[in-house]
Amino acid sequence: MRRVLVALAWAWWLAAVGLTALRWVDATGPVPVLQSGLVLVGLSLVPLAVLAWALARRLLLGAAVLLGLGHAALAAPWLLPDTVPAGRDDLVIATANLEYGRGSLEDLAALVDEREVDALVLVEMTPEAQARLEGSALDRALPVRAGTLRSDAGGTLVLTREGMVGSADDDTGADGAHVIDEPYLFDQVRLPITRGGQTVTLLGAHTRPPALAGSAAWREELGWLGEDATGIEGPLLVVGDLNASTGHPALRQVKDDAGLRDAHEASGSGWVRTWPTDGLLPAFVQIDHVLVRGLDVVDAGAATVTGSDHAAVWARLRLP
């Protein structure tokens, strides 16, 4: 029995090495699905080290500890805050995936009130959710709308406070807003928002999820998102459900190309988990993001949205 345990322990260590190496493999197929669980691989090295110690296998213990230190080094930036103090004209941004419009608008209204949110990006926004929005506390707090409604998962709507995006028009609900509905599967909304005399471009984003059998279209969409973000000059926010984590080279490439950083990483938020929040499987990965360029991070966090399989995320930002 002891030999079997030792063999299984070494097999897991070898598997952990292989899965860890996937962090640097920019591939399609099932690879992105495996990459989303890399944090779990790192955590699993703790019981592996305990087992190695119990079995008195020093070599295995050393190997598990060494690999664990590698994971700790990758996680360190998420534990060390790089923030600035709050200011009078800070911009507060939030986003939530409503899961086909079923997410609680009451929970979001509470988040907007508690964090003094100035702009909220809602993805998977449906006509039914819009009907619930009319006259609600959330509508009163953020009455200006820009974006689209769709009965599938493709609607993306940005809600803002009065005076942040100009006067309303017939197409998108806010002056200067632009909807990108092709070639993406879901709609992306781009608009300028103003706070304290400063203007920032907000890109409300929602890219398709990777599929276990094949994720070439997912990878392609992240490439388009990177190109769109890189082509925007000045301070930029890319906010929404990107269906990718920092364990995915494709998302890291978007950030590098466009000069973006994750607000939750900058805030030292640690292991942020936004999906899945509604099932037997506990949330284990952050796929909802506030990515920033040209703004300093004051704070960031997450909040529960009843009725959705995603947590909302928010960030308080210092304008340039």
- 204 and 266 co-located in one domain: yes
- 168 and 67 co-located in one domain: no
Residue-wise pLDDT for 181-218, tens only, equals 889 999 999 999 998 889 999 999 999 999 876 799 99
Q: Is residue 85 part of a domain?
A: no
- In which domain, by residue range, is 151 found? 91-318
DSSP code per residue over 34-100: HHTTHHHHHHHHHHHHHHHHHTT-HHHHHHHHHHHHHHHHHHGGGTS-------TT-EEEEEEE-TT
- 39 and 70 co-located in one domain: yes
- 164 and 43 co-located in one domain: no
Q: Is residue 208 part of a domain?
A: yes
Closest by alpha carbon to 243, among 302, 204, 287? 287
- 32 and 114 co-located in one domain: no
Q: Is residue 86 part of a domain?
A: no
pLDDT by residue for the chain (320 residues), tens digit each? 888 999 999 999 999 999 999 999 999 999 999 999 999 999 999 999 999 999 999 999 999 999 999 999 999 999 999 999 999 999 999 999 999 999 999 999 999 999 999 999 999 999 999 999 999 999 999 999 999 999 999 999 999 999 898 655 545 667 678 999 889 999 999 999 998 889 999 999 999 999 876 799 999 999 999 999 999 999 999 999 999 999 999 999 999 999 999 999 999 999 999 999 998 889 999 999 999 999 999 999 999 999 999 999 999 999 98
Q: Is residue 84 part of a domain?
A: no
- 40 and 14 co-located in one domain: yes
Q: Look up the CATH number of the domain holding residue 225.
A: 3.60.10.10
Q: What is the pTM of this model?
A: 0.95
H runs (alpha helix) in the chain: 2-21, 31-35, 38-54, 58-75, 105-115, 127-133, 137-141, 216-230, 249-258, 263-266
- 52 and 141 co-located in one domain: no
Q: 3-state DSSP call for residue 286? A: coil
Tally of domains in the chain = 2
- 48 and 192 co-located in one domain: no
